[in-house]
Amino acid sequence: MPTRGSANPVPGQPRPKDLRHDRSWGLDRRAGTSERLDDVDQRLLTALAEDARIPNNALAAKAGIAPSTCLTRVQRLRERGVIRGFHADVDPARAGHPLQAMIAVQMRGTARTRLSAYLQRLAELPGVLNVFLLGGAHDFFVHVAAADSDALNDFVIEHLSTDPDVALTETNLIFQHARAGWY
């Protein structure tokens, strides 16, 4: 019987990835995997992206399937991780945060092993709408909403510039934003 860490995998099963030699630093790499979706799944996703509160019978009609099939299909899409959740699209300006910015963050070389943890920490900060881990000159783009320029300045100083792992920040104001229609 193979033991943990043994070179002999279970017959018929894929060999487990050896994490000791993984250079991904624990980052979520799901972007490289995709689910096979048929036309019905595509229609369901399109309709849900337009209105996540659409009643099941209306969703089924848009997809051209029975309501019971629709429930099963949506549940399966959620279980497979294709649908990650349902969210309210809140207008930051009407919610008291009219100033939006995209902040580029470059980390110090010594912080490279903590990028995933830093991404999660950024996502939990007040006013953060989105965080993107990047390849290229910057390590992150942080999309924030603030009440005014003083609040934005305070955010950058308190949460980014004073962090010893941060080498550089660059703040770009967002004048207009349009939500894309793709899913």
Residue 66 maps to a domain: yes
Structure confidence at residue 31 (pLDDT): 52
Considering the chain, what is the average pLDDT of its residues?
Answer: 85
Average pLDDT of span 24-50: 75
Domain assignment of residue 51, given as a range: 36-79
Residue 56 maps to a domain: yes
pTM of the model: 0.72
Structure confidence at residue 87 (pLDDT): 86
Mark whether 168 and 105 lie in a shared domain. Answer: yes
Residue 94 maps to a domain: no
Q: What is the pLDDT of residues 43-72, one digit of tens each?
A: 999 999 999 999 999 999 999 999 999 999
Q: What is the pLDDT of residues 77-99, one digit of tens each?
A: 999 999 999 988 899 999 999 99
Q: Structural domain tally of the chain? A: 2
CATH of the domain at 110: 3.30.70.920
Structure confidence at residue 16 (pLDDT): 36
Mark whether 105 and 141 lie in a shared domain. Answer: yes
At which residue do the structure tokens 């390590």 appear?
Answer: 139
Residues 6+ positions from 152 with CB-CB distance below 8 Å: 99, 101, 144, 146, 171
Residue 91 maps to a domain: no
Structure confidence at residue 142 (pLDDT): 98
**Of 26, 48, 79, at which residue does a domain stop?**
79
Q: What is the pLDDT of residues 2-25, one digit of tens each?
A: 333 333 333 443 333 333 233 333
Mark whether 68 and 104 lie in a shared domain. Answer: no
Mark whether 103 and 163 lie in a shared domain. Answer: yes
CATH of the domain at 43: 1.10.10.10
